[in-house]
């Protein structure tokens, strides 16, 4: 009951073990579905399921049915136009990262967007080129078709120019990436993104930003630097840049610095006054238009030898089948690209879905991006995901649905079909500057390192390891290293959990780590051990070691010592050197008698102590005759808190049973509390219980077990006048405790009575 006016509660109920609770409270026996039932249900089809499948596969039907034409259409139009302008610019810029001619970025900003409109579940992300993916595509492209030297011998390259070969490589690896994403979506493995923690993604994208920054230096400085890939490629690229630093094109450098400064300042204004501005100032688009005009007016290409975008073909190119030989050459790179592309897009989509209160489906997102990349690759676009900056423009300018995305694709189409020629004088250094200034968010993630170091050092090591490996070894190998480190931290945390010995917080039914609190109650002879982790094959030995450390003795060693002592006593009795008296066993021979060192039948030493042929039962904690030494065991009861144990495997079951038997055989009563019903059911099904390890040792709560122990082992003291009520204000089964409690005040022990 709850006492009115007091912040406390009083509960009166019987003391429950698991068996007692099961006897008193009937449990519902649920029939679990078999694999056959799940398969049958999966392939069963009816009208309702067909309708749900259609809505799931074509999510746009769901939001189109609730589309509010008057309220949403204008916002989507404004958002679509703004996003389309940014998409054009970023498409051109990110094509340079992919080592492709700039206009192929326009294809990436068009075809994947159209497919995602029908299949995607997010209403706010802007699909298209993403700098990290573009860079990963560029690494594959430059590996197979290097700037210097012949391309890799691949059937289908014959008769093609270098740019056409690169487009074939980029389209083929994108096609393969799309197949992988589509397959993962159909197999319902969207959960795979959970293995990429925020820490790992942050370290990886920071490293990618460093790669992008270095790759754009050649455009900013106006240098000719061949694209490199593989381990340490960033070091070799920097070497080539600094070797020819005196050849820097001053016009490119000044233009880039001017663009970066202006864009950076205006972006900061956009961020600071975003609540007051109706739409963000499209500064990249404005500066691009100005740069195009100035470049054309002053003929930068001819007079200052500035590298410009050049001819942009009008219209779209005919579809192209992927090259199967390239699949074999790029499969290793395509898989991390598929994972990274989906992980980034899903993370951004999740942010906006929470903000605008709708649901996104990870598996359907995989299908949507897989189909987008497959169809886009057929029309010579490269890997598509989403970019946070572009998605932020689409959402912040009022975009409500993917109608805005569709309109942005139409803007890109207009540029491709009609006005692309206006962008031909655009210096590539301007595109490089726009790319670099948009790296601010990713580069500033390095500020997370001090926080992670203070709060969670394993996570900090994952961040640093992923970042450094991705910078030095390349993005694909760096991601693999990051995943390996992340899995190692999980294994480390699970294999070496922070075990603790608990104690009662005086006057409550609450138990906490004995090291953390000043005033605690610890009955003599009782230990409470907690392991906050699943117990499995990798940590069962660690668990047993920590258990031995907690109780203060090795039960197997004590058991063997006791059985050796019994052998010695039996031999002395047989020789007549020990006699039974009223005071117990008395040594009749003179001089010390050494303990038997007979090591035969060692397996018998691990069996329970057997007193059946002895005239008296030995008190192991008293002084033994014949110079026999056996370690004292001051613990009579051990409670194992399983409240944080989520599963046990077969190896752990065997190890746990062995540990329990060792303790029971040295006369320590073991109790397991707060065990999950699934684990208890598994113990029964695996024949865990026998004559020694019994189901009666399981109790519902830690407090139930403690009350049971205090009833069975009252804490007696001759100096106690009145019962000390330290564990509960209630009585135990109607009998008041007649003992004394040990109350610890950090560093001193006192006996308290009242």
Give one DSSP letter per residue of 320-337, joined into a string.
-PPPHHHHHHHHHHHHHH
pLDDT at site 721: 33
Cite the DSSP H helix spans in 379-522. Answer: 388-396, 403-414, 428-437, 440-443, 448-455, 457-473, 475-495
pLDDT at residue 58 in the model: 87
The more confident residue out of 110 and 281 is 110
pTM summary value: 0.80
* DSSP-derived 3-state class of residue 395: helix
Pairing of strands 637-641, 526-530: parallel
Residue 275: count other Cβ atoms within 10 Å of its Cβ: 5
What tens digit of pLDDT does each residue of 504-562 get?
998 888 999 999 998 899 999 999 999 999 999 989 999 999 999 999 999 999 998 88
285 pLDDT higher than 50: yes
**What pLDDT is recorded for position 319?**
93
Between the CA of residue 98 and those of 130, 172, 260, 278, 537, what are the distances in Å? 10, 13, 21, 34, 46
Can you tell me the distance from the alpha carbon of 99 to that of 76, in angstroms, rounded to the nearest whole number? 33
Mean pLDDT of 29-46: 75
Q: What is the largest CA-CA distance in the chain?
A: 121
Enter the tokens of residue 361.
């489906």
Lowest-confidence segment of 227-231, 293-297, 303-307 by average pLDDT: 227-231
* Pairwise CA distance, residues 466 & 486, whole Å: 9
Closest to 735 measured CA to CA, from 723, 746, 747: 723
In angstroms, the CA 120 to CA 48 distance is: 22
- How many whole angstroms separate alpha carbon 476 and alpha carbon 133? 11
Taking residue 246's Cβ as centre, other Cβ atoms within 10 Å add up to 6
pLDDT at residue 724 in the model: 40
Which residues, other chains included, contact 327 with Cβ-Cβ below 8 Å and sequence gap of 6+? 172, 176
- pLDDT of res. 585: 59
Q: What average pLDDT is seen over the chain?
A: 86
Q: Report d(CA 552, CA 675) in Å as an integer.
A: 24
Strand bridging mode 741-745 / 698-699: unpaired
Q: Is pLDDT above 80 for 625?
A: no
pLDDT at 175 over 80: yes
Mean pLDDT of 449-471: 94
Gap between the Cα atoms of 693 and 699, Å rounded:
14
Query: Would you give the DSSP letter of residue 513?
Result: E
Q: How far is 213 from 659, CA to CA, in rounded Å?
A: 58
Place 308 in a pLDDT band, splitting at 50, 70 and 90: very high
Residues contacting 372, CB < 8 A, separation 6+: 111, 112, 113, 115, 116, 119, 127, 178, 384
In this prediction, residue 587 carries a pLDDT of 58
Backbone angles phi, psi at 365, to 5 degrees: -65, -40
Q: Is the dihedral of CA 478, 370, 330, 96 positive or negative?
A: negative
Closest CA to 415 of 430, 427, 426: 426
d(CA 78, CA 404): 8
Q: Are 237 and 225 in contact (CB under 8 A)?
A: yes
State whether residue 200 is helix, strand or coil. Answer: helix
Determine which helix (DSSP H) or strand (DSSP E) holds 669, and give its type and residue range.
Answer: strand 669-673
- The mean per-residue pLDDT over the stretch 224-235 comes to 87
Mean pLDDT calculated for residue range 483-491 = 91
Percent of the chain with pLDDT over 90: 53
Q: Which residues of 444-466 are buried (b: 16+ CB within 10 A; e: fewer)?
A: ebbebbeebeeeeebbbbbbbbb
Domain ranges of the chain: 60-491, 500-584+603-612+624-712
- Look at residues 336, 324, 303 and name the one whose alpha carbon lies nearest to residue 481: 336
Q: How far apart are CA 135 and CA 113, in angstroms?
A: 20
Average pLDDT over residues 663-675: 94
Average pLDDT for 655-660: 94
pLDDT band per the 50, 70, 90 thresholds, residue 3: low
> Between vectors from CA 351 to CA 349 and to CA 357, what angle results, nearest 5°?
95
Express each pLDDT in 351-395 by its tens digit. Answer: 889 888 898 888 999 999 999 999 999 999 999 999 878 888 888
pLDDT computed for residue 720 by the predictor: 34
CATH architecture assigned to 500-584+603-612+624-712: 2-Layer Sandwich (3.30)
Cβ(366)–Cβ(184) under 8 Å? yes
Q: Given the DSSP bridges, would you call strands 637-641 and 669-673 parallel, antiparallel or unpaired?
A: parallel
C-beta separation of 155 from 168 below 8 A? no
């Amino acid at each position: 009951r709850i006492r009115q006016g007091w912040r406390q509660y009083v509960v009166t109920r019987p003391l429950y073990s698991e068996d007692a609770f099961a006897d008193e409270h009937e449990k519902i026996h649920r029939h679990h579905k078999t694999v056959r039932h799940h398969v049958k249900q999966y392939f069963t089809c009816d009208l309702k399921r067909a309708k749900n499948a259609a809505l799931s596969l074509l999510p746009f039907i769901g939001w189109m049915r609730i589309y509010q034409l008057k309220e949403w259409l204008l916002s989507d139009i404004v958002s679509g136009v703004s996003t389309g302008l940014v998409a054009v610019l970023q498409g051109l810029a990110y094509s340079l990262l992919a080592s492709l001619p700039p206009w192929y970025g326009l294809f990436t900003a068009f075809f994947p967007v159209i497919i995602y409109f029908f299949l995607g579940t997010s209403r706010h992300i802007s699909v298209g080129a993403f700098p990290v993916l573009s860079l990963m595509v560029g690494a594959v492209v430059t590996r197979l078709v290097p700037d210097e030297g012949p391309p890799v011998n691949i059937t289908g390259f014959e008769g093609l120019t270098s740019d056409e070969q690169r487009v074939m490589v980029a389209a083929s690896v994108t096609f393969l990436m799309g197949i992988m994403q589509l397959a993962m979506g159909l197999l319902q493995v969207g959960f795979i993104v959970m293995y990429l923690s925020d820490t790992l993604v942050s370290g990886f994208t920071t490293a990618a930003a460093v790669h992008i920054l270095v790759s754009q230096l050649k455009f900013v400085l106006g240098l000719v630097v061949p694209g490199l890939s593989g381990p340490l490629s960033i070091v070799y690229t920097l070497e080539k840049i600094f070797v020819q630093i005196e050849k820097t094109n001053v016009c490119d450098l000044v233009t880039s610095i001017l663009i970066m400064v202006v864009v950076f300042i205006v972006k900061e204004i956009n961020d600071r006054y975003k609540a007051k501005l109706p739409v963000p100032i499209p500064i990249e688009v404005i500066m691009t238009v100005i740069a195009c005009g100035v470049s054309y007016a002053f003929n930068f290409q001819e007079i200052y030898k500035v590298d410009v975008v050049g001819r942009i073909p009008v219209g779209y190119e005919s579809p192209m089948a992927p090259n199967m030989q390239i699949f074999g050459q790029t499969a290793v790179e395509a898989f991390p690209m598929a994972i990274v592309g989906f992980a980034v897009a899903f993370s951004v989509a999740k942010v906006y879905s929470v903000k605008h209160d709708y649901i996104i489906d990870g598996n359907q997102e995989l299908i949507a991006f897989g189909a987008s990349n497959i169809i886009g690759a057929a029309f010579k676009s490269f890997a598509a995901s989403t970019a946070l900056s572009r998605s932020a423009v689409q959402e912040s300018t009022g975009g409500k649905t993917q109608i805005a995305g569709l309109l942005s694709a139409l803007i890109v189409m207009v540029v491709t079909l009609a006005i692309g020629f206006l962008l031909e004088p655009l210096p590539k250094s301007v595109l490089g500057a726009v790319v670099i200034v948009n790296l601010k968010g990713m580069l500033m993630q390095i500020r997370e390192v001090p926080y992670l170091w203070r709060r969670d050092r394993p996570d900090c090591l994952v961040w640093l390891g992923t970042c450094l490996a991705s910078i030095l070894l390349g993005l694909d190998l760096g991601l693999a290293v990051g995943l390996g480190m992340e899995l190692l931290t999980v294994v480390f945390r699970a294999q070496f959990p922070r075990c603790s010995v608990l104690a009662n917080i005086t006057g409550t039914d609450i138990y906490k780590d004995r090291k953390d609190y000043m005033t605690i109650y610890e009955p003599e002879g009782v230990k409470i051990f907690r392991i906050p982790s699943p117990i499995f094959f990798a940590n069962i030995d660690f668990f047993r070691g920590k258990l031995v450390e907690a109780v203060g003795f090795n039960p197997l060693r004590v058991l063997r010592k006791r059985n050796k002592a019994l052998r010695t006593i039996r031999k002395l009795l047989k020789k007549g050197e020990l006699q039974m008296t009223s005071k117990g066993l008395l040594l009749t021979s003179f001089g010390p008698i050494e303990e038997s060192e007979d090591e035969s039948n060692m397996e018998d030493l691990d069996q329970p102590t057997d007193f059946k042929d002895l005239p008296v039962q030995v008190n192991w904690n008293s002084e033994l005759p014949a110079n026999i030494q056996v370690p004292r065991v001051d613990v009579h009861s051990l409670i194992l808190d399983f409240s944080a144990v989520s599963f046990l495997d077969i190896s752990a079951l065997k190890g746990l049973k062995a540990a329990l038997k060792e303790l029971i055989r040295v006369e320590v009563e073991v109790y397991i509390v707060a065990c999950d019903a699934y684990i208890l059911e598994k113990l029964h099904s695996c024949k865990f219980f026998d004559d020694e390890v019994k189901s009666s040792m399981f109790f519902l709560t830690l407090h139930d077990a403690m009350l049971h122990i205090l009833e069975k082992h009252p804490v007696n003291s001759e100096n106690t006048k009145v019962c000390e009520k330290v564990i509960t204000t209630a009585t135990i089964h109607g009998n008041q405790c007649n003992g004394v409690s040990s109350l610890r005040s950090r560093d001193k022990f006192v006996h308290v009575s009242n």
